Amino acid sequence: MAFQILLNVFLALVWMFLKVSNEPIDFLVGYFFGLLLVFTFRRFFPSRFYLLRVVAVINLIAIFIKELLLSNIAVLKVIIKPKLDIQPGIFALPTELKKDWEITLLSNLITLTPGTLVVDISDDNQTLYIHAMDASDAEAAISSIKNTFEKAIMEVSR
Amino acid sequence: MRTNDLILQTVTKVILFIILLFSIHLFFAGHYYPGGGFIGGLMTAGALVLLLLAFDMKTVANILPVNYRIMTAIGLLFSIGTGAGSLLFNVPFLTHAFTDVYLPLLGKTSLHTAVLFDIGVYLVVIGVTMTIIQTIGEDE
pTM of the predicted model over 0.85 = no
Give the pLDDT score at B140.
Answer: 55
Q: What is the DSSP track for B15-40?
A: HHHHHHHHHHHHHHHTTTSS--HHHH
Give the pLDDT score at A62.
Answer: 93
Q: What is the mean pLDDT of residues A101-119?
A: 88
How far apart (Å, rounded) are the C-alpha atoms in residues B24 and A11?
Answer: 31
Q: Is the pLDDT of residue A79 over 80?
A: yes
Residue spans of the domains in chain A: they are 2-44, 50-157
Which residue type sits at A8? N
Q: How far is CA B8 from CA A18, B41, B44, in A?
A: 46, 23, 19
Pairing of strands A89-94, A127-132: antiparallel
Chain B interface includes A123 (CB < 8 A): yes
Chain B interface includes A23 (CB < 8 A): no
Closest approach of chain B CAs to the CA of A39, in angstroms?
30
A27-76 pLDDT per residue, tens? 999 999 999 998 988 888 888 888 888 999 999 999 999 988 988 898 89
CATH placement of domain A50-157: 3.30.70
How far apart (Å, rounded) are the C-alpha atoms in residues B88 and A83?
Answer: 82
Chain A contact probe: residue of B2, B3, B5, B6 with most A CBs at under 10 A? B6
